Structure 1
Amino acid sequence: MRNPDVNPNPPARRRGRPARTAPPAAEQRVEAVERAFALLEAFADGTKLLTLAELAARAGLYPSTALRLAGSLIRFGYLARGAGGGYRLGPTPFRLGGLYRAGYVLADQVRPALVRLVGLTGETGGFYVRDGDRRICLFREPSPRPIRLHIEEGAAMPLDRGASAHVLMAFSGGTLPVHDTVRAAGVAISIGQRDPEIAAVAAPVFGPAGRLVGALGVSGPVLRLGAAEAARIAPMVVAEAQAVSRLLGA
């Protein structure tokens, strides 16, 4: 069966002339998508609720076209329909906006906090995010001391041990007793769990709507970061994690 999307008689290519390249992505257009975006832009002035006729008029579309496009937008959560039949923005634009803001400012807010923690504690600072059944070191600030923890950005580690692992699990559905303890305390301390010579302190960082973003903390040798020292610096870690959370809109 012939593919209807393939032209059976492509235009002849003139000898000696190069084939035309596709236009840049910004110049490529899909009119149906642009019409759908026009419906969303109808709310750009802050109007909360629009009838179908108002929606179509603002977008410059026929009501029948606006109705079909609105159905698709409702399906994906970009629009919602009220009990009275009017249209309003759905939850998806809010969710995507939050993701954009978090992604845009995350490094700008986390890295200064790590620098401050390293200055206060002298230990290596790190910010971890959950990736399935592992944690990833997204940002790292090394300790200035010659004996220090060496972890590279992008390193993957397990989620079953370590202070940042317990934080990530505790605030993303973890059900073990250690997770209950971390949720109650708002901070996790681990001594020799992932490595018998390493200790760590970590606290959760939240974004809009209380969504867990990651775990902020410090790690260092047990000979310096023992139980007493970890307990002393835990409030510093919590304070920096809360400050970042506020900046991210928590």
Structure 2
Amino acid sequence: MAADRQPKEQRVEAVERALTLLEAFADGADRLSLAELAKQTGYYRSTILRLAASLQRMGYLHRDADGCYRLGPTLWRLGSQYQRAFRLADYIRPALVEISGETGESAAFYVREGDQRVVLYRVNSDRPTRHHIEEGSALPLDRGAGGRILTVHTSGDDEHADQIRAQGFYVSDGERSPEAGAVAVPVFGMNGEFIGALGVVGPRHRMGADNHRAIADLLLRHAEKIGAQLGGR
């Protein structure tokens, strides 16, 4: 019967294509040429030009004098509103500063967005040799300590899920980047709701096995404190 049928998913192709164009910057690229956008999206250059023109008018893209594109101020404004609405920054940022200060490495907080993890907040180490990524960068979900934590506490689709949940943290050694090692733990809020992943990442030669437990314990203490501040127990 017609009443039993599920409604079809409503989609607007032009909107999805425009958003795909913006997603081309998700890996942290500051500027992309028309050719680079075409390669990443698979769209014809003529299509990109039409989409980009609309995005420029709305402030989502900006085209420099040399023809390269970069993200526009509207995204910065919306991103700022998103972070304010979350109100996690008041609790997460101070923790990241302390964690980075104690370990000497970069500290970050990740959330899951679809099949990626997003660096929502980050404090980069001030050491000359460090692992550096900007806030807002999108990274793979299936590799790295933060990605593993997000996966097992959302979809659970990970062969090591039971072990990760049992030990309460995950250590990666060159999983996403061959030069980096990381440790991450889950953060829970009110009613045990999973909020995101808290992690430390640094060069592999400084993230050896002898440091893993100490870093994990530090992260777990901060995760528990953040959880309590968010209304958890």
Smaller-chain TM-score bracket? 0.5 to 0.7
Alignment of 1:118 with 2:89, yes or no, is: no
Tell me if structure 2 keeps the 8 A contact 1:123–1:142.
yes
Ranges in structure 2 where 5+ consecutive residues have no aligned partner:
1-81
Equivalents in 2 of 1:109, 1:121: separation in Å? 19
Ranges in structure 1 where 5+ consecutive residues have no aligned partner:
1-99
Alignment length, in residue pairs?
150
1:130-209 mapped onto 2 (5 Å cutoff): 130-209=112-191
Tell me if structure 2 keeps the 8 A contact 1:191–1:199.
yes
Alignment of 1:248 with 2:230, yes or no, is: yes
SS in 2 for 1:246: helix
Instruction: Report the Cα offset of residue 211 of structure 1.
Output: 1.2
TM-score, length basis structure 1: 0.58
Identical positions, percent: 48
Tell me if structure 2 keeps the 8 A contact 1:191–1:227.
no
1:1-250 mapped onto 2 (5 Å cutoff): 103-250=85-232
Instruction: Report the Cα offset of residue 104 of structure 1.
Output: 4.7
Counterpart of 1:70? Answer: none
TM-score, length basis structure 2: 0.62
Instruction: Report the Cα offset of residue 232 of structure 1.
Output: 2.3
Tell me if structure 1 keeps the 8 A contact 2:171–2:212.
yes
Instruction: Report the Cα offset of residue 246 of structure 1.
Output: 1.0
Instruction: Report the Cα offset of residue 234 of structure 1.
Output: 1.0
Tell me if structure 2 keeps the 8 A contact 1:105–1:248.
no
SS in 2 for 1:245: helix
Supply the RMSD in Å over aligned alpha carbons. Answer: 1.6
Equivalents in 2 of 1:118, 1:184: separation in Å? 26
Instruction: Report the Cα offset of residue 119 of structure 1.
Output: 1.1
Equivalents in 1 of 2:108, 2:86: separation in Å? 19
Opposite residue 113 of structure 1, the aligned amino acid is: A
Opposite residue 196 of structure 1, the aligned amino acid is: P
Tell me if structure 2 keeps the 8 A contact 1:124–1:141.
yes
Tell me if structure 2 keeps the 8 A contact 1:162–1:193.
yes
SS in 1 for 2:205: coil
Opposite residue 150 of structure 2, the aligned amino acid is: L
Tell me if structure 1 keeps the 8 A contact 2:189–2:231.
yes
Larger radius of gyration: 1
Q: 1:107 to 1:140 in 2, by over 3 A?
A: same
Instruction: Report the Cα offset of residue 124 of structure 1.
Output: 0.1
Instruction: Report the Cα offset of residue 145 of structure 1.
Output: 0.7
